[in-house]
A and B are shown apart, each in its own frame.
Chain A
Amino acid sequence: MGLSFFIFLSSGLFLGWSLGASDASNIFGTAVGTKMVKFRTAAIIASVFIVLGAVSAGDGTTQTLGQLGSINTLPGAFMTALAAALTIYWMVELSMPISTSQAIVGAIIGWNFFASKPTDPAVLTKIAATWVMCPVLAGAFAVMLYYLVKKIIRVSHLHLIRQDCYLRVGLILAGAFGAYALGANNIANVMGVFVPASPLQSFILPWGWELNATQVLFLIGGLAISCGVITYSHKVINTVGNGVMKMSPLMAFVVVIAQSLVLFLFASTELQEFLHSNGLPAFPLVPVSSSQAVIGAVMGIGIYKGGRDINWQLIVKIAMSWVATPLVAAVVCYVSLFFLQNVFALEVFR
């Protein structure tokens, strides 16, 4: 392992940085934007829990991406991650509700085509189904939580000032959970393609906790996401708030919890095993979009309140992005791999 590894890893690190910069606003956007939580507090909590989630629970979603396509060279992984990053940049320019998960899945399929490797339709269907399930489930959770929170506030007769105090603590805890779920679910997008070709070895931390080779890779990816949170998310929060609409801190609390629950359900191996062992249908471990989960949650509440707040244009855009993002990413990846192989004479697959 030398400098070349980190050069090839750079596209994944960039992807991680941009994920941290943009998705932190889904977790702490309203809390920081409404000055309920200081940015410094939010950034530290988000960074720590993203890394924790990535290292301790990022394995499940990575295995699913691995089933879709196991990219077996570093240049191939580099270009796959870069193609996803370029697609995200392009789709953001077109104001599409972009998902890193959809971009990386498209890029992997592009690599599969280029390397003439088969794409398992069952895995692809499983992944695509979760993209639809993600906002729907987030909407359902948001409605239940919204009802519950309203009920609690009505029954408890808490003073407004005390509500504010509890809400601050709640926003911090929800943000920590959200960051953990984001790290666990989305690390596969950032580092998943590098796992098969990674030359990293297992590593023992000073306090005796041993990280296997994949966890070391996830630690690096998690730090890249945290770097995005610390260096750039403040600007994103200031310019676009939570990215969807202006929310009250209480509504933001409900939305963050709903979004985090969805990300956690689609990332937790333990939960999957628990459901399996009890004969219940388990959720597939698939990286999903936190932004689309937030949109689903906000719209769920909108529908519950009478449907006046539904932004149909946004729903159409999301549905379009389910198709357009992977398609564009696959084409960009295919063309880029051709370029890398024939211009730089690098081995992009074995």
Chain B
Amino acid sequence: MFHVNFSLFSQTKALENKIDMFHDKLLDAAMTFKKAVAVYLEQKRSDDFKKISKQIKQIEHDADNLRREIENNLYSQNLIPDLRADVLQLVENLDRVINKFDEVVYKFYAEQPEIANEYHSRIKELCSLSADCAENMAKASRAFFRNVSSVRDYSQKVYFIEHESDLSSRKLTEAIFDSDLPLANKLQLNGFVTDIADIADTAEDFIDELLIFTIKRDI
């Protein structure tokens, strides 16, 4: 029994590290995303952009592996049986946000949209808001595991930033469709705006769920 207990302690520590590393991956993805879009706007599909695209692909791949390991460990070691389903859902949804960062960067890589200079600052701002939203979502999720009382603080930030991102994306969409660009360009650019803003929306959905799980955690 003592052997079992000691192995339980070591397994616990290993899983704790994996969950922390998974959150780190999300923060890495958010920062790399911001950098990737900024580089694209400056240099288009340059070598630097290709390098950053690869970086974000690697982050997404590592996060997928970590997610599988976390899920596998939770089930094989029968950990947190009463909260396991909630934690699995949280991890899946965090991974969805990482995937979205990767998808948007890949979309820039594949479609190579023509973006006029007048939109650069607004797109950067929208990317920054979406990335901030995801960062605060990651902090809220980390707090769920370590310090439940601060989940609300980060959640509130996510709600605020998501609202800002909505306003920003609407203004950008209106500006795009008010412009003299060909319709094909307008639709393409609007697609990018929607995809970037969708990251903040996904973060908001995640927070809605997280708050319910937080109430459930309260004994």
Contact = CB atoms under 8 A, between A and B. Distances in A.
Interface of A: 34-36, 41, 146, 149-150, 153-154, 157-162, 164-165, 168-169, 248-251, 254
A165 B145 contact: no
A34 B9 CA distance: 19
B117 interface: no
Contacts of B147: 157
A20 to B, nearest CB: 21
B12 interface: yes
B39 interface: no
15 contacts: A36-B81, A41-B1, A150-B219, A153-B148, A157-B147, A159-B146, A160-B83, A161-B15, A161-B16, A161-B79, A161-B145, A162-B12, A162-B13, A162-B16, A164-B83
B81 A165 contact: no
Interface string B69-83: 000000000111111
A165 B12 contact: yes
B179 interface: no
A164 B78 CA distance: 10
Contacts of B145: 159-161
Contacts of A150: 219
SS class of chain A's interface: helix, strand, loop or mixed?
Answer: helix
A45 to B, nearest CB: 9
Given A162-B12, A164-B80, 14 more contacts: A34-B81, A35-B78, A149-B219, A150-B219, A154-B149, A159-B19, A159-B146, A160-B87, A160-B144, A160-B146, A161-B79, A164-B83, A165-B12, A251-B219
A150 B217 CA distance: 11
A119 to B, nearest CB: 44
Given A159-B16, A159-B145, A168 B8 contact: yes
B19 to A, nearest CB: 7
A160 B87 CA distance: 10
Given A164-B12, A165-B12, A169-B5, A35 B81 contact: yes
Nearest to B12: A165
B19 A161 contact: yes
B79 A164 contact: yes
Contacts of A169: 5
Nearest to A160: B145
Contacts of B9: 165
Nearest to B8: A165
Nearest to A35: B81
Interface of B: 1, 5, 8-9, 12-13, 15-16, 19, 78-83, 87, 144-149, 217, 219
A44 to B, nearest CB: 9
Contacts of A251: 219
A117 B140 CA distance: 70
B139 to A, nearest CB: 14
A248 B86 CA distance: 14
B185 to A, nearest CB: 48
Contacts of B82: 34, 36, 248-249
- 4 closest Cβ pairs, A-B complex: A165-B12, A35-B81, A250-B219, A164-B80
A159 B217 CA distance: 13
Nearest to A252: B219
B211 to A, nearest CB: 16
Contacts of A158: 146
A301 to B, nearest CB: 8
Nearest to B87: A160
Contacts of A34: 81-82
A144 to B, nearest CB: 14
B54 to A, nearest CB: 32
Nearest to A41: B1
B33 to A, nearest CB: 27
A161 B80 contact: yes
Q: Which of A35, A150, A168 has the most CB of B within 10 A?
A: A168
Contacts of B79: 161, 164-165
Contacts of A154: 148-149
A215 to B, nearest CB: 27
A35 B145 CA distance: 20
Interface centre among B15, B144, B145, B219 (most CB of A within 10 A): B219
A149 B219 CA distance: 10
B213 to A, nearest CB: 10
A162 B17 CA distance: 11
Contacts of A41: 1
A247 to B, nearest CB: 9
Nearest to A149: B219
A251 B217 CA distance: 11
A248 B15 CA distance: 22
Contacts of B78: 35
Contacts of A35: 78, 81
A228 B29 CA distance: 57
B145 to A, nearest CB: 5
A36 B78 CA distance: 8
Nearest to B13: A162
Contacts of A36: 81-82
Most B CB contacts (10 A, CB to CB) among A41, A159, A162, A249 go to: A159
